[in-house]
Structure 1
């Protein structure tokens, strides 16, 4: 797969996620954050499972043997994903779709910083100005001076450090295992089990509450988890984590547009300019590294 194809997959994931903010706000019924997170990710793991098993057998036989460290890495990735998704879901239920989309994008500038400080991985220089462009663009998309932080916004903000860590862990695990579908399915399963366990302990939902949120669980489990998160994992095998985070930040644009279409949240010309700034950052991280490679080859 080429880097361009991988980036297109990441963009498609962002489109699905941006659209799913609406479902996350209105499609959960009375089901609370941890239980909803667990149910949708467990469903996603079941959807991907047949493909993951096939890839596992292929890699195990012809590429490399899986180790205990691989399993522990996938478990850690799924645990971080569970915390990020649950905190975000809890916040989304207590704020607007536009605000939640903007605040989630705070993880974008965190990714190159964490990559440098924790993993000693220096990103391409274009990641820094592109991250700033994406962050400023999401601020504009949110309505800039009209943003008023509520309690739900603080929960969404707290999820961003875990989203940034998750992007980095995905990049590490798909490179190490060479099995993106196995990584995807494994992290979904861990996230699902942890979410349902925490939900039972903290929220104690009954079956009727799950039934009331069934449409949202099915929609999010299939599209947001099984498709979009799997697209992310596959795409990050060929795209560096900081660049992937910038591309995925376009979910902010799609969240605002879907909020306007389905929930009546208005998007001004000024906010649309913020969307263009985000796409400018995405184009920069796509083109600038390619120009450097072209000069070396010539």
Structure 2
């Protein structure tokens, strides 16, 4: 287990867990919000690429550049469908559907990268998935869910899984270049579809939330995320991306005043317990041999 990479993944997922909270306060439709994210993140990441001198050490490979471009397209579609889902269904249900992605990535990662799935990872992943499904199922009680919103959540999960797998295939291109190229692709593809009059009525607080999703939830998060997944196996990535819904649920409870019912509480406890087990058990195993020295 690469501890530095694992820490980066956990931090990035913890930050991203608040994206639903921020996006709901921007007052922007999905396409216009994603465009702001791309513009802000592109500026930050390009500046970091130049100021750190990373551009001098860049090694370009034609095949890998195509993978970076494909990753950028899948990432863009992931965002558009996710933020559309946030507008059509509750954040809790959208995030739960979105986290079908680790399951898809784990299965595909086993086939593509030949990753071995240990017993701890199997139980932790099953627990995380079961927990999110309990939360999602409870969210449907007494409601008429939007099937369009649910479809958007599933499509977001598919493209999120593709983004994770493609990101793991990038080895030579720096994290800075990988991410700012993806932001440039996002801006170029979205530009014909952006309704710029949507920005005219935004108040100051909405602009702050929108820009924050670009600088923090995109620029910072994607530097950490793409830097970490290159050095971690698929089972580890699949388990610890569930830090994202855990943070989203905490924000719902602590900030939005959400009060879970019995089924949701069981799902939350299962989710947090599985994450704790995934982190604690491997650390305990590595600590025992050290104690003998």
2:179/2:223 contact within 8 Å kept: yes
Q: C-alpha distance in 1, partners of 2:220/2:190? A: 19
Rounded to whole Å, the distance in 2 between the matches of 1:257 and 1:290 is 25
Partner of 2:255: helix, strand, or coil? helix
Q: 1:287: Cα distance to partner?
A: 5.7
1:21 equivalent in structure 2: 20
Contact 2:115 2:233 in 1 (8 A): no
3-state DSSP class of the match of 1:206? Answer: helix
Q: Is the 8 A contact 1:18 1:254 kept in 2?
A: yes
**Which of 258, 268, 271 is matched with 1:275 structurally?**
268
- Name which of 196, 199, 204 aligns with 1:205: 196
SS at match of 2:78: helix
The 10-residue stretch of structure 1 (72-81 or 280-289) with the greater mean CA deviation from structure 2:
280-289
2: distance between equivalents of 1:178 and 1:205?
33
Q: Give the distance between the partners of 1:8 and 1:184, measured in 2 at CA.
A: 19
Contact 2:23 2:210 (8 Å CA) reproduced? no
**For the Cα contact (< 8 Å) 1:38–1:193, is it kept in 2?**
no
Counterpart for residue 70 of structure 2: 76
- Residue number in structure 2 paired with 1:56: 54
Question: C-alpha deviations, 1:13-42, integer Å up to 9, x for none?
Answer: 122111121111232x2x321221122122
> 1:75: how far off?
1.0
RMSD of equivalent CA atoms? 2.8
Q: Residues 161, 51 of structure 1: CA spacing in aligned structure 2 closer, same or farther, 3 A cutoff?
A: same
Gaps of 5+ in 2: none
Q: Could you say which residue in structure 1 is the equivalent of 2:184?
A: 189
- Equivalences, count: 284
Q: What is the CA-CA distance between 1:106 and the residue it aligns to?
A: 1.2
**Match of residue 172 from structure 2:** 177
Corresponding residue for residue 127 of structure 2: 133
Deviation of 1:92 after TM superposition, in Å, equals 0.5
- Per-residue deviation, residues 196-222 of structure 1 (Å, max 9, x unmatched): 33x23xxx3326448555233211001
Q: Tell me the CA shift for residue 115 of structure 1.
A: 1.4
Residue 47 of structure 1: SS of its match in structure 2? helix
> How many angstroms apart in 2 are the aligned matches of 1:157 and 1:35?
21
The alpha-carbon distance between structure 1 residues 260 and 142, as it changes in their structure 2 partners (threshold 3 A), is: farther
Q: 2:100 aligned with 1:109, yes or no?
A: no
8 Å CA contact 1:6, 1:235 repeated in 2 = yes
CA–CA distance in structure 2, aligned partners of residues 55 and 170 of structure 1 = 22
Listed as ranges, the gaps of 5+ residues in structure 1 are none
The aligned counterpart of 1:7 is 6
Would the aligned equivalents of 1:36 and 1:217 in 2 still touch at CA under 8 Å?
yes
